[in-house]
């Protein structure tokens, strides 16, 4: 299957999501 | 990014489930018992809710470690997933505890959980050692004989941490570290 890859900035943007 | 509205009702799944461990040296207990599992997570949101409420590495006591490993792999050489492997070692100077330690550790975690390495299947986890003489961070891989994969991970690590090309980091094979008798050459690879 496809590997689930996340960019650094994408991860950081989710830091304070509700 | 673009104007994408987030659906906050859905958590973002990770490729792997990860476990955070904390080590504190209590001489009355075995080394293995001093490794305590804190929590496991397999979504981006659950990672942040853990990370946001634990102490940053720079505020831990001397002699302690955080380890982040794929679930099921214990943060020790003896684990079946680690015993043929080794680690990329980043040795920090004392002054880097205030400047670089937390940034390096978080960026390494983001590389791990975001699967930043092409050969991320080879990655077992990462460890940060808080030590008076100088902190260390290791990125552990599972098979030291897979040179191309090990080197790709090392190069990407340097790039992601913005480590200057004037600085060389080395890869230690766990078995060599265990068998170490003298000061023979330490590193099997370097980038």
What confidence tier does B8 reach under pLDDT thresholds 50, 70, 90?
low
Chain B hits for A3, Cβ within 8 Å: 15, 115, 120
Q: What is the mean pLDDT of chain B?
A: 93
Radius of gyration of the CA atoms of chain A, in A: 10
Chain A hits for B8, Cβ within 8 Å: 17-18
Chain A hits for B11, Cβ within 8 Å: none
Q: Does B68 touch chain A (CB under 8 A)?
A: no
**How many of the other CB atoms lie within 10 Å of CB of B116?**
22
Chain A hits for B1, Cβ within 8 Å: 10
Contact B8 A18 (CB under 8 A): yes
Is B129 a residue whose pLDDT tops 90?
yes
Which member of B45, B116, B120 has the closest CB to residue A14?
A: B45
pLDDT for position B99:
87
pLDDT per residue as tens digits for the range B59-78: 999 999 999 999 999 999 99
Is B9 a residue whose pLDDT tops 80?
no
Is B4 a residue whose pLDDT tops 90?
no
Size of interface A-B (CB pairs under 8 A): 44
pLDDT for position B5:
58
What confidence tier does A18 reach under pLDDT thresholds 50, 70, 90?
low
- Tell me what the mean pLDDT of segment B82-91 comes to: 97
What confidence tier does A17 reach under pLDDT thresholds 50, 70, 90?
confident
pLDDT over 70, % of chain B: 93
Interface ipTM > 0.85: yes
Residue of A nearest to B8 (CA): A18
CA–CA distance, B89 with B94 (Å, rounded to integer)? 16
Which member of B14, B48, B52 has the closest CB to residue A4?
A: B14
pLDDT over 70, % of chain A: 94
3-class DSSP string for chain B: CCCCCCCCCCCCEEEEEEEEEEECCCCCCCCCCCEEEEEEEEEHHHHHHHHCCCCCHHHCCCCCEEEEEECCCCCCCCCCCCCCCEEEEEECCCCHHHHCHHHHHHHHHHHHHCCCCCCHHHEEEEEEECCCCCCEEEEEECCCCCHHHHHHHHHHHHHHCCCCCCCCCEEEEHHHHHHCCCCCCCCCEEC
- Tell me what the mean pLDDT of segment B87-97 comes to: 96
């Amino acid at each position: 299957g496809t590997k689930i890859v996340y960019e650094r900035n994408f991860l950081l943007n989710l830091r304070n999501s509700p | 990014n673009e104007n994408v509205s987030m659906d906050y009702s859905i958590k973002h799944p990770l490729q792997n489930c990860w476990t955070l461990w904390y080590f504190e040296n209590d001489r009355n207990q075995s080394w293995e018992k001093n490794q305590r599992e804190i929590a496991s997570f397999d979504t981006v949101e659950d990672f942040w809710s853990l990370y946001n409420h634990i102490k940053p590495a720079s505020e831990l006591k001397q002699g302690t470690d955080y380890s982040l490993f794929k679930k099921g792999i214990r943060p020790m050489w003896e684990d079946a997933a680690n015993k043929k492997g080794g680690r990329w070692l980043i040795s920090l100077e004392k002054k880097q505890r205030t400047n670089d330690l937390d940034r390096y550790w978080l960026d390494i975690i983001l590389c791990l959980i975001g699967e930043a390495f092409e050969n991320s299947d080879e990655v077992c986890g990462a460890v940060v050692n808080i030590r008076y003489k100088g902190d260390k961070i290791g990125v552990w891989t599972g098979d030291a004989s897979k040179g191309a994969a090990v080197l790709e991970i090392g190069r990407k690590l340097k790039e992601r941490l913005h480590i200057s090309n004037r600085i060389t980091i080395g890869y230690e094979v766990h078995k060599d570290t265990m068998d170490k008798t003298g000061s023979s050459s330490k590193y099997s690879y370097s980038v």
